Structure 1
Amino acid sequence: MNQLLPKYFGFDPATTTIRTEIIAGVSTFLTMAYILAVNPAILGITGMDKGALFATTAITSGIATLIMALYAKMPFGLAPGMGINAFFAYTVCLSMGHTWQFALTAVLLEGLIFILLTVTNVREKIVYSLPPSIQKAIGVGIGLFIAFIGLQNAGISVKNDATLVALGQIFQPSVLLVIVGLISTAVLLVKNIPGALLIGIAITTICGIPFGLTHLDGFVSTPPSVEPIFMKFEWHNIFTVDMVMVVFSFLFMDLFDTLGTLVSLLYKGGFVKDGKMPRMKESFFADAVGTTIGACMGTSAISTYVESAAGVSVGGKSGLTAFVIAVCFFLSLFFAPLFLSIPAQATAPVLILVGFLMISCIKEIDLDDYAEAIPAFICIITIPLTYSIANGIVFGLLSYVLINLISGKFKKIRIEMYLLSVFFIVMLLLH
């Protein structure tokens, strides 16, 4: 065992323990398990079979995360990306009028291009072309983004036509349950209790029973077949203008969402040493292959999940954490009623607190150097306020180049930054 864990998972007993890795894996899985219910709900509006979608979501998430565990040896979970699945359903299928088979074909092509970009190190080069201040700002922005999602899931932040967002009804069972979970989990963190986030989820789930918010409809179920959506492609439209535009849109969204997430997680986990990010290529390979497999299985593109910060925050350091996440996804095929009984109110407090833990990177940004701080700030606020990690990277880098260029700080801007800026401007014009 002492030899197998380092060999297959990059496990280092000097920096972590098996118990910590297991807790980290379960914590991450529980914070991202909502995808098992949400992905079928979103993609199901296109006419895809929801039972098959549940099964393929669990299987593809498990496979992609297993690649992350064994090949990249990093503690991150992967699943169909939120936002990308909405673009798949609402834009490509409902708005543009294409079939879900057309959209799956586009995802397959995107996955194959991703593999090519990963093998040729293009994705890794893009990461290092971003200024260090923007790299760190991405983590802070994602922290606010995660917290915002948690507040929405909690019902604390609600839609308002006049101000976009407003305070929800606090004195209702669902919000009160979140507040109970938030306070109890925060106290566990203050007391340095191991597995605080996981224990917090369990406490909130149990407290949800008398509130009528936790519903357990059995423990075991038979996995539905994936046959209705397996390998359903539409090849006759492969050379159309619409296919090119959809593939390009998928590629752009997934490329920079995953890039931003991975960079922030590497900083949060303390993996970055002297500006060097370990095993980037291998980590990118996991989502590239996962996306390709996902298209074959019948789901939208696979991404590294920001919720992985939950596991990183409790000490997950190796691929063993990802292995635990993968096992949980595979088990969910048979224990769907149990996993789906965890209410959104139980994971919302964890998302809010993980958001707090993520913003610690702001301490590493030189706020006295306005040429660095202002672009970083623009990146930070754009991520949650436009609901997109990719948008934060775009506006962060563009503002960095323009501010430093006009200020006469030419030496700070590398040729790669100019090239990326031109690419971003073209994307904005096509948006």
Structure 2
Amino acid sequence: MLNKFFKLEENKTNVKTEILAGVTTFMTMAYILAVNPDILSATGMDKHALFTATALSAFVATLVMALVARLPFALAPGMGLNAFFAFTVVLGMGHSWQFALTAVFLEGVIFILLTAFNIRELIVNAIPLPLKHAVSAGIGLFIAFIGLQNSGIVINNDATLVGLGDMGSPAVLIALFGIVLTAVLLILKVKGALLIGIFAATIAGIPFGVTHMPEGHLVDVPPSLSPIFMKFEFSQIFTLDMLIVLFTFLFVDMFDTVGTLVGVSSKAGMLDEEGKVPRVKQALFADSIGTFFGAIFGTSTVTTYVESASGVAEGGKTGLTALSTAVLFFIALFFAPLFTMVPAAATAPALVLVGFFMMSPILKIDFENYTESIPAFITIIAMPLTYSIAEGIVFGMLSYVLLKVLTGKMKDISIVMIVLVILFVIKFLI
């Protein structure tokens, strides 16, 4: 039955290869089960409930990818998007986490509609490619900065804004140990390097009091979703802040998902003669539905993970790979204490190195074309320095349009860009 449904023979693969590929994908992205609750709990959300929401949303979205799109891609709450949720929308802009969850819910609804009417690809094509690459790189710096802060390696400093933390503190030493270990594992191409690094740092933190052992059993029923389930704040949906937040969620998720689908499909040799991803509409539905239900469960935007490439590299070519990953996320639900005991010092290595991964698109920016590379640079540098992904995008798009207009290159600006810039200017004026 599996062979017929997933067309294993037609894709020159088998059940064993697909399952092992799914396990590999899970190993390389399971760090999200520890990192996502850690990041979102900074808003005041219940960390244990966040674990359940993270695992459940990953399970649902990846299951849809497996059974509807039948592609070897896995999904979960996205890195960068969760940082924007916690550190920009809630801690930066001062909104409640219920406000942020409402924006994610609306994003899911809009994505479902946009996908149904084939509009998502049109919007993606309207945004200049250099800014797409810059957003990924900027988020990478932002995530790495958050990891360094959470571990105490970088601290607030009144004189210079930021400074070096106490290099002798147990938390800092554990974080540095995790970064070095994970980097070595990545260089040696060890599967699950990020996850191994998190677990190793967590264990190393026990004798130093950095890691606190959970009470009770490691295997238990999943924590209740009730503290965060369907906690929406619809009274704010018509505000300008909601528009800016919603657009940023839409913008980042669109480019993250489309870029991942194209990049991993290319590596797997799955692109058709025209360079298109097979069943891309169904794949986009998977992340739309994942985001929709993820918001209901109580977590940030769900997106397709670039770590899916690890499973593809192991031979995964069909939805059976994704199905295997989805099943493992479901099993992980019953090991909540194991993941929620992980301290910030142990998740910092994953944040720093995922930030490193997200920097690679910067190589695709033409730095000789100043009207495009300068806005890209502004986008990248503004994100960590303003502590806001949204501000980075705003400044990048404003500078792009301004430089194109002043140098007589209006043909490079789309109508969509002009409309967005007008909205951003209004936001600044208000």
SS of corresponding position for 1:169: coil
Displacement of 1:377 in angstroms is: 0.9
Gaps in structure 2 of 5+ consecutive residues: none
Letter in 2 for 1:30: Y
| CA-atom RMSD in angstroms | 4.0
Q: Is the 8 A contact 1:145 1:387 kept in 2?
A: yes
Taking the TM superposition and a 5 Å limit, the aligned residue runs for 1:197-276 are 197-217=194-214, 218-226=217-225, 242-245=236-239, 248-262=243-257, 265=260, 269=264, 271=266
Letter in 1 for 2:160: T
Partner of 1:177: 174
Q: Is the 8 A contact 2:66 2:72 kept in 1?
A: yes
Q: Is the 8 A contact 1:146 1:355 kept in 2?
A: yes
Letter in 1 for 2:251: F
Query: 1:78-133: per-residue Cα shift (whole Å, max 9, x none)?
Result: 238523356776699xx67x895x88667655543332233223332221111222
Letter in 2 for 1:302: T
Measure the CA separation in 1 of the matches of 2:139 and 2:231.
Answer: 34
SS of corresponding position for 2:73: coil
SS of corresponding position for 2:387: coil
TM-score between the two structures when normalised by the length of structure 2: 0.78
Give the number of aligned pairs: 412
1:425/1:88 Cα in 2 relative to 1: closer, same or farther (>3 Å)? closer
Larger mean Cα displacement after TM superposition, 114-123 or 128-137: 114-123
Measure the CA separation in 1 of the matches of 2:193 and 2:65.
Answer: 25
Q: Percent identity?
A: 45
Displacement of 1:156 in angstroms is: 1.0
Query: 1:260-280: per-residue Cα shift (whole Å, max 9, x none)?
Result: 433554576474989967466
Measure the CA separation in 2 of the matches of 1:293 and 1:164.
Answer: 39
Query: 1:227-249: per-residue Cα shift (whole Å, max 9, x none)?
Result: 67656778xxx6x6x44227535
Q: Is the 8 A contact 1:27 1:198 kept in 2?
A: yes
Displacement of 1:325 in angstroms is: 5.0
Displacement of 1:221 in angstroms is: 1.7
Displacement of 1:28 in angstroms is: 1.0
1:37/1:397 Cα in 2 relative to 1: closer, same or farther (>3 Å)? closer
Partner of 1:64: 61
SS of corresponding position for 1:165: strand
1:166/1:286 Cα in 2 relative to 1: closer, same or farther (>3 Å)? farther
Query: 1:138-158: per-residue Cα shift (whole Å, max 9, x none)?
Result: 222222223222222322122
1:303/1:355 Cα in 2 relative to 1: closer, same or farther (>3 Å)? same
Taking the TM superposition and a 5 Å limit, the aligned residue runs for 1:102-251 are 108-217=105-214, 218-226=217-225, 242-245=236-239, 248-251=243-246
1:34/1:75 Cα in 2 relative to 1: closer, same or farther (>3 Å)? same
1:159/1:197 Cα in 2 relative to 1: closer, same or farther (>3 Å)? same
Q: Is the 8 A contact 1:378 1:392 kept in 2?
A: yes
Taking the TM superposition and a 5 Å limit, the aligned residue runs for 1:2-17 are 3=3, 6-7=6-7
Letter in 2 for 1:78: A
Gaps in structure 1 of 5+ consecutive residues: none
SS of corresponding position for 2:221: coil
Q: Which of 72, 76, 79 is matched with 1:78 structurally?
A: 76
Partner of 1:339: 339
Measure the CA separation in 2 of the matches of 1:116 and 1:301.
Answer: 19
Query: 1:331-355: per-residue Cα shift (whole Å, max 9, x none)?
Result: 3332111122333333322332232
Letter in 2 for 1:75: F
Displacement of 1:365 in angstroms is: 1.5
Taking the TM superposition and a 5 Å limit, the aligned residue runs for 1:379-418 are 379-418=379-418
Measure the CA separation in 2 of the matches of 1:123 and 1:84.
Answer: 22
Letter in 1 for 2:348: A
Q: Is the 8 A contact 2:54 2:76 kept in 1?
A: no
Q: Is the 8 A contact 1:178 1:345 kept in 2?
A: yes
Q: Is the 8 A contact 1:202 1:346 kept in 2?
A: yes
Measure the CA separation in 2 of the matches of 1:179 and 1:91.
Answer: 27
Displacement of 1:254 in angstroms is: 1.9
SS of corresponding position for 2:162: strand
Measure the CA separation in 1 of the matches of 2:12 and 2:351.
Answer: 28
